[in-house]
Chain A
Amino acid sequence: MQTKDINENIAWAKINEDVLRSMENPRKGYWIAVAACIAMVMCAVLAEIYQYQVGMGPSNLNWPHMWDLYIATFVFWIGMSHSGTLLSAILHIIQADWRKPIYRFAEAMTTFSLMTAGLFPIIHLGRVWNMYWVLPYVSDRGIWPNFRSPLIWDAFAITTYLTSSALFLFIGMIPDLAICRDNARGWRQKLYTVLSLGWQGDDRQWRNFRKIYLLMACFLIPLAVSVHSIVSADFAMSIMPGWHITSFPPYFVAGALYSGCAAIITLFIILRYFFRFDEYMTIPILEKTCKLTFAIAMVWSYLTLIEFASVWYGHDMVAKESLLSRFTGPYAPFFWLMLFCGIVAPFALAIEKFRRHLPTMFVVSLVLNLGMWLERWMIVTPTLATSYHPFAFDTMWPSMVQWAIVFGSFGWFGLLFLIFVKVFPSVSMYEVKEMVFHRRHYHSADLATKFHRRASDREEDGEPSTEGAKS
């Protein structure tokens, strides 16, 4: 049974070789995945062209259902973006070195999720040609956007988050881009030469690198929390029943972390399988990620129950009726499915046997994210279906146009991710070397025995090498 986060005897040169190999000639499976993603994106593009031509009618978005899948999916993708950068930053600050082999693709996930999320408000506008109205500039009429509106806060927050997380991803990659530069030929070498910014690995660069990475992490943690709090303000600052709830900001942040962690598990297993990263994306690291996800799932479950309780005991009859309609109304099957996927399914993460079984974890992570997507849908739609005015009660099911665009967004995300893993290293080479180095030099054999092995383990592995960089 594999019990160590990483084998400390891996040679540094092998780490370079393994990661660089993953960026070389794509196999057939890769091209099939790319083709599938392009097909999904084309579905969305065709649906959007149709919607653009004939207006918002075919999407079924009509009063009182002005928001539906587009906004729910927007919130889902924003949420998905949270775990990468936020967890990477938090785990970096608390020096949890097991993040090192997995944070790169998680940060990439953040950036691409935000790029996907950013499309939805534009699509939702209908009049996409007026999207620039959200920008703070002096128009011909001398009118600025309303800075009191959470929708404008969204535009600022998402722009800031996208810029900051893309820079965080880029800065963390600079030493690896230098490795790529030293090993690449042709257009790749030109690309990496530009992107590595002349990195030479000298002490001045490393010293400043350590500072910037820490500072960026410090900036990004409150930023990530603020972004999803602001997204929750889109709902909580309205007076709609089921939305006007004080606990919405922490509820949204917990939900964001939850879905992001589940997505990390999914991508972890995919990358480990296809790129044969068994030595870096190890089972113990997956176990730690699963435990973290379980903890966050329990926080989210608690906040969900708190939301119900505060509405129930709040004596706001409209909000109470809206809550009851979720449990018993036309959307009840989806609501109950959301509760199952979000609250019951994560208990699979608490069982060690499941945590160490990759196919089970893959399925569970998808189920968790299905639950998180349903959660956003169940926030948006039932409230609009049963609001203040009984004459406006209306059940609306999304049209094929909406479904196609939502479906295509997953293809868009997948396509960006697939391009990323072939152009940039999806495992941080220098940080894995650091991890290996620290484990070799600073972990005594006694501590290793105590913390990396279980009582049930019978066979002792070889003692950690105390040699230098080369083994």
Chain B
Amino acid sequence: MKRYYVMGLFSNFEEAFATISEIRSHAIQGVSVDDVTLKSPIEHPEIEEILGDRGSPVPKFSLFGAIFGICFGFLFLASAQATFLVQPAGGKAVIPLPSNIVLTYEMLILFGVISTLIGFMISARLMTKRHPLYSEKVSVDQIGVMLELDEKNVDSIKDLFKKHKVLEIREEVSQ
């Protein structure tokens, strides 16, 4: 089944948000706000009020990385220090907690940071091919509203875009 991608480029957030608000209020049958992707040169602080809270799993990656860092850091140090038969501790604790806490803390942060980055790359779907409708104008000063649609809704969406003073409409068909 053919899927249509339509993107309207707007000169400001107000018009783009007004367009999405109409889609949200089911102005066009069969098109919902879940089909909308907003492309912008900056992150708009009120975007979630328009698109709904879509959430981000990145903090879970951070938490996992931090916990892994604590466990790995401490166990790594402890296992190294446990070779006490080779490396006499001279009466001191074989696994000293105060000094190990410092290095465990560093490992917490290192693995937390790396895991956060991995989480970001997965969640933001980075390192994937750019969409054919990507416009360089979005990185300058225009706001793009892109929808994935059935053929029957394409004209309605274009009309909605025009109603909100769209600057340019681009479309792409995928098989």
Residues of A within 8 A of B (CB): 11-13, 16, 136, 138, 141-144, 147-148, 152-153, 156-157, 159-160, 163-164, 167, 171, 174-175, 178-179, 182-183, 197-212, 215-216, 219-220, 222-223, 226, 230, 430, 433-434, 437-438, 467-470
Contacts and interface: CB of A to CB of B under 8 A. Distances in A.
Give the residue among B42, B76, B146 with the most A Cβ atoms within 10 A: B42
Interface string B141-170: 111001000000000000000000000000
What 3 pairs between A and B have smallest CB-CB spacing?
A: A468-B12, A12-B141, A206-B43
A153 B96 CA distance: 14
Contacts, number: 176
A198 B122 CA distance: 12
B80 A12 contact: no
B38 interface: yes
B141 A198 contact: no
**For this complex, into which size category does the number of interface residues on chain B fall?**
35 or more
Contacts of B15: 468
B8 interface: no
A249 to B, nearest CB: 12
B38 A203 contact: yes
Contact of A216 (B11, B56, B113): B113
Contacts of B77: 147
A212 B58 contact: yes
A199 B109 CA distance: 26
Give the residue among B41, B107, B126, B136 with the most A Cβ atoms within 10 A: B41
B110 A163 contact: yes
B75 interface: no
Interface of B: 11-15, 37-43, 45, 47-48, 51, 54, 56, 58-59, 62, 76-77, 80-81, 83, 86-87, 92, 96, 99-100, 102-103, 105-107, 109-110, 112-114, 116-117, 119-121, 123-131, 134, 136, 138-143, 146
B110 A160 contact: yes
Contacts of A160: 106-107, 109-110, 113
A210 B96 CA distance: 39
Contacts of B102: 153, 226, 230
Contacts of B113: 160, 163-164, 167, 216, 219-220
A215 B141 contact: no
A203 B51 contact: yes
B117 A212 contact: yes
Given A202-B146, A203-B51, 12 more contacts: A143-B86, A147-B99, A152-B103, A163-B114, A164-B110, A198-B130, A199-B126, A202-B38, A204-B37, A204-B124, A434-B43, A469-B143
B47 A469 contact: no
A200 B138 contact: yes
A172 to B, nearest CB: 12
A310 B77 CA distance: 35
A208 B130 CA distance: 17
Give the residue among A142, A207, A215, A467 with the most B Cβ atoms within 10 A: A215
A144 B126 contact: no
A205 B109 contact: no
Contacts of B47: 203, 206-207
Nearest to A152: B103
B54 A203 contact: yes
Give the residue among B43, B100, B114, B116 with the most A Cβ atoms within 10 A: B43
Contacts of A199: 126
Contacts of B138: 200-201
Contacts of A163: 110, 113-114
